[in-house]
Amino acid sequence: MAKKPSQKWKLYEVKDGKVTRKNRFCPRCGPGVFMANHKDRWTCGRCGYTEWKK
């Protein structure tokens, strides 16, 4: 089976020549670890931290 290409380019956006991050960082793991944006929650893939959306 072939390896899927990286999808990291989806986590960043360029506005006015500056790079901005789309997703938030995990409060436990710190900067550099993105949280996954689900329909009803934010989840960290590294430590499992979850924040529920209202």
Task: Confirm whether residue 29 is marked as ligand binding.
Answer: yes
Residue 53 annotated as binding?
A: no
* Cβ pair 31, 38 in contact under 8 A: no
Plot region of 35 (φ>0 → left; ψ -120 to 50 → alpha; else → beta) = beta
Look up residue 6 and give its DSSP letter: P
Annotated binding site: 26, 29, 44, 47
Annotated binding site for Zn(2+): 26, 29, 44, 47
